[in-house]
Chain A
Amino acid sequence: MTMKRRTVLAGLAGTTAAAALGMPALAGKGKVKAGYIYVGPVGDGGWSYQHDQGRKAVEAAYGDKVETSYVESVPEGADAERVMTQMALSGHDIIFATSFGYMDAVQNVAKKFPNVKFEHATGYKRAPNVATYSSRFYEGRAVIGTIAGMVTRSNKIGYIASYPIPEVIRGINSAFIHARKKNPDVEFKIVWVFTWFDPSKEADAAKALIEQGCDVIMQHTDSTAPMAIAEKAGITAFGQASDMRAFGPNAQATAIIDNWAPYYVDRVGKVLGGTWKSEDTWGGIASGMVAFAPFNENLPAEVKAAARKMIDDIKSGAYHPFTGPLNKQDGTPWLKPGEVADDGTLLGMNFYVEGIEGTIPS
């Protein structure tokens, strides 16, 4: 937030100066300026860090033909709108907004700048100049659910959830379904922290879950704090968004890694080539968007084998993590045996599957 805003401001000043001097705007796309806004600091070791790795991949791929900038720790809301407006004014051709909560801000700014291309991560609102992209994290959750169900001894799995949005609920359901498949006695304790990044609160949540008997912790928040707490407590945890092994060399069974680099390189390339258009991308294990950190050596061989099989089956398309028979939490049927959930239902998922206790906060 601090350092890079200046770059944006400098860029803004530069553009104004160019306009004042009567320099014509370049029609062709000999050079593309790509901007990124992150919800957390680039050094969060998780979500934002991983997006920034993607940004660096774009720079590496196109060298002089591309210029990138980023603004970190941008709150979801009015601030995001201001930052994106500054980026659009300072001559960015494409702006990547990398958090769900930027959705309406993206729409508002995109309306004002029809010639600037916007890409919104994990959202569902599109426009002629707004594309959306996301990753099928639930495929990764199916894998870590499988591992969690097999390694837990207390049968209590703690889940640190951020906001009650479909993406997070989908992850909880997927992890739960696959933990239960391996271990019918497993129960989930879910804690909503209502933040993407607050190491203290995430650490406190992990401690509360461990104090109440959980011996496996999953997180859908961005910091590495839960991993550090799990390491200290000597239990198992899963890296979120990025490989968090450094923070939990013994605790991290594996990590779901968000690999945005190929997508970012592809999209910026399309801007360079003039073939960019608004579309929706939802990649998973098969397309490489969802990747995994190496399995921890301390995992039993049969656990590793089961996890690897799950990865292979999802990758080959032989298995979909949401395959019936599945009931909703209240017992009403959702998917018939063998039926696979459609993307529409998954994208708007607002219910727990049968077996999860508790209610989703509104």
Chain B
Amino acid sequence: MDLSAIDPLVLLASLMVAATPIMLAGIGELVVEKSGVLNLGVEGMMITGAICGFAIAVETGSPALGFLAAAAGGAVLALVFGILTQFLLSNQVATGLALTLFGLGLSALIGQSYIGIKPPHFDPLDIPLLKDLPVLGPVLFRHDVIVYLALGLVVAVWWFLNRSRAGLVLRAIGENHDAAHALGYKVMRMRMLAIVFGGALAGLGGAYISLVRVPQWTEGMTAGAGWIALALVVFASWRPLRLALGAWLFGGITVLQLNLQAAGVAIPIQYLSMSPYIATILVLAFLSSRSGRAALDAPASLGKPFHASS
């Protein structure tokens, strides 16, 4: 055992990177669910974003354009989900699952010719002064722009939901779409916007995996990150700041246990690996009881279909 081999600063820095994809996808899904829509297709949107971002970054040589394309790809897929569930009133759970399967297949198809290709290098930001700070510099200020974008989006979503009028309307729709409709709010429009936003962020999260974290394209490379993002939203009980903490916890446990193992520490790996899921199951169990549901603030109309005639 050699704990000195683990540099805590490097560890914290890689934790920030490991948390970014699920933080992006999670915060997007949080907004979707706050509007009362349950989109289980996060995994499919992430993987579609991963290949769209990868393909465009390779073709244009610009990672920035790649990320834009990833957001667009995720958003288009989400739009399909939105049209199906909001206008054609298909079942949200089934449609979401189908979206995941569709996304996995579609990405494999698009990705055929991108296997074994290296994406253009995506450099960390060069932040003068701050990056040279002791301790904080390496941990916080030597990352790429997407890491900060994810954090910024968490804060922006928190502000939007809790401090803005539009956010209040969105939450009202998520709590009781009939009442919100009666008050004259555009339930469908708000939900479609939320769904597209969620898709774009899931796409960004996927592209972060294919362009930065792994950097390469491999079929099925998100390997369940979308499901973790979904669990994260529940774990965070639909609160943005708690979601950021959860992302660091979920991502952090993975990175930490890998580092501990590499340092030769005998740890029960299985327990550490399953701990985020156990936490989520506990939250879900708590949530399923009536008092728990109220305590955790699950949007009351979550997953329920809405039609203006009802």
Contacts and interface: CB of A to CB of B under 8 A. Distances in A.
Contact of A191 (B102, B258, B266): B258
Contact of B6 (A193, A194, A200, A212): A212
Interface string A192-228: 1111011111011101110111100000000111001
A197 B116 contact: no
Interface string B208-222: 010001111011111
Interface of A: 1-3, 40-45, 73, 158, 189-195, 197-201, 203-205, 207-209, 211-214, 223-225, 228-229, 231-232, 246-247, 357-359, 361
Contact of A211 (B7, B115, B214, B215): B7
B292 interface: no
B224 interface: yes
B262 A41 contact: no
A35 to B, nearest CB: 19
A54 B14 CA distance: 38
A225 B266 contact: no
B254 A228 contact: no
A358 B264 CA distance: 6
A222 B112 CA distance: 18
B264 A73 contact: no
A200 B223 contact: yes
Q: Classify the secondary structure of A's interface with B.
A: mixed
B224 A43 contact: no
B269 A212 contact: no
B209 A199 contact: yes
B47 to A, nearest CB: 11
Which of B18, B115, B220, B259: most chain A Cβ within 10 A? B220
A197 B255 contact: no
Given A199-B209, A199-B214, A212-B262, 4 more contacts: A3-B108, A192-B269, A204-B258, A228-B215
B8 to A, nearest CB: 11
Interface string B250-262: 0000110011011
Q: Which range contains the number of B residues in contact with the other chain?
A: 35 or more
Given A2-B102, A41-B219, A44-B218, A158 B254 contact: no
Interface string B94-110: 00000001101100100
A204 B263 contact: no
A197 B269 contact: no
B273 interface: yes
B21 to A, nearest CB: 7
A211 B222 CA distance: 23
Contacts of B120: none
Nearest to A244: B116
B219 A44 contact: yes
Given A1-B104, A223-B221, A204 B216 contact: no
Nearest to A191: B261
B250 to A, nearest CB: 12
B261 A204 contact: no
B269 A247 contact: no
Contacts of A358: 264, 266
